[in-house]
Structure 1
Amino acid sequence: MAVSEVEYHLAEPQPVEDSELEAWYMDDLPADQRLPHRLKPNRPAGVAQLRKLGVLSWKLNPVQYETDPKLQAICKVRGYSYQDIITVSPEKLPAYEQKIKSFFEEHIHTDEEIRYILDGSGYFDVRDLNDAWIRIACKAGDMIVLPEGIYHRFTLDEGNYTKAMRLFVGEPVWTPYNRPQDQHSSRTKYVERFTAGSIPVQ
């Protein structure tokens, strides 16, 4: 399927200088996972730093997600052929306690993890190349892509609610591979790619 220049332009990740996505390095206190867990003093992790880890982000309009040309262009350019919507809250998600616990187990996937927050908010935590945790605060309109092989996890924040679109290339495979996975081919591919200094954004 041919992709036009306009579609390529629409699908580009949000410029670093325009992004309001907030991220920071985490403390290691054994408090509620839904708390911000900022270091004191706070140590921000900028969007440019996230890009060096392969994390991409966009700001979209969640009100028009069903007809949004920007979302359509992203899906076309990046090959996202599957999508569904998941609501994560104690009232809406079956087996909530079990699933929220599994989401927060540190793991990798053999494909990208793509999430578009339509309502509510939550945290995606990713490991940097020195194995420190960075917490990414995502709210309505934020779309992020975590690369194959990155160690990560997800939790709700204190709002206890998020509604998100999940996207995938082809048939979805949601299998998490919990750490340690340092010998897994997806993990070794990630390490080789993102420690080499050449990190494409698309």
Structure 2
Amino acid sequence: MVQAWYMDQSEEDQKTPHRAQPEQRVPAQQLRELGVCSWKLNPDNYETDPELAKIRKERSYSWMDIITIHKDTLPNYEEKLKIFYEEHLHLDDEIRYILDGSGYFDVRDKEDKWIRISMEKGDMITLPAGIYHRFTLDENDYVKAMRLFVGKPIWTPYNRPADKHEAREKYVQFLAQTA
């Protein structure tokens, strides 16, 4: 399963772990209370993996593509990394499955503190619609990920502040119910 921890306040290189001192790990249950779900799958057979097929069917993830984020494969690499790292939300769930490489998703907790989620080969995650988050590569500078959607993909990020969007309002209500 994914590893997660509270971040320090440093503004230095976004690709470093940024672990708060003393270290404060975040258990999977706390992530679930934020609406973040994760799985550990076998990416070496993702095309025929029955566990992935089951998750996709249960959650209606009907659309999929694969993206490789590396300076040699992604046009406008530096610009894209800056955009991915801007705090934003989406109106739909964000689903990512790491087929190779590694990176970080950062999400806000109920007190608006950053939690860093380390993603590596085999990790799959869903971030609920309306959660503030961002993504960056780690120091390996490479990730190959499957992107999944319910229906056709909608790529629009809404940078913070975006509290008036219905998805954000629903997410805040969800947080209040889990308190």
Common topology (TM > 0.5)? yes
> Which residue, 108, 123, 129 being the options, matches 1:142?
123
Partner of 2:62: 81
* Residue 33 in structure 1 maps to residue 14 in structure 2: yes
Aligned equivalents of 2:176 and 2:106: distance in 1? 19
Point out where structure 1 has 5 or more consecutive residues left out of the alignment. 1-19
Aligned equivalents of 1:193 and 1:39: distance in 2? 27
Task: State the shift of 1:30 in Å.
Answer: 1.5
Aligned equivalents of 1:106 and 1:92: distance in 2? 24
After superposition, what is the alpha-carbon deviation per residue over 1:33-67, rounded to whole angstroms, capped at 9, x for unaligned?
00000011111111110000000001000000000
> Which residue, 95, 98, 102 being the options, matches 1:117?
98
Task: State the shift of 1:193 in Å.
Answer: 1.1
* Residue 102 in structure 1 maps to residue 83 in structure 2: yes
Q: Which amino acid aligns with 2:84?
A: F
> Which residue, 13, 18, 23 being the options, matches 2:4?
23
Partner of 1:4: none
Alignment TM-score, normalising by the size of structure 2: 0.98
* Residue 194 in structure 1 maps to residue 175 in structure 2: yes
Identity in percent: 61
Partner of 1:181: 162
After superposition, what is the alpha-carbon deviation per residue over 1:156-183, rounded to whole angstroms, capped at 9, x for unaligned?
0000000000000111001000000111
Tell me how large the CA RMSD over aligned residues is.
0.9
Q: Which amino acid aligns with 2:160?
A: R
Point out where structure 2 has 5 or more consecutive residues left out of the alignment. none
Aligned equivalents of 1:197 and 1:30: distance in 2? 31
> Which residue, 123, 141, 146 being the options, matches 1:160?
141
Aligned equivalents of 1:93 and 1:174: distance in 2? 16
Aligned equivalents of 2:74 and 2:158: distance in 1? 22
> Which residue, 36, 43, 56 being the options, matches 2:24?
43
SS of residue in 1 equivalent to 2:44: helix
After superposition, what is the alpha-carbon deviation per residue over 1:87-106, rounded to whole angstroms, capped at 9, x for unaligned?
00111111111111100000
> Which residue, 107, 112, 115 being the options, matches 1:126?
107
Aligned equivalents of 1:93 and 1:189: distance in 2? 34
SS of residue in 2 equivalent to 1:77: helix
Instruction: Please list every run of at least 4 consecutive aligned residues from structure 1 whose deviation after the TM superposition is greater than 3 angstroms.
Output: none
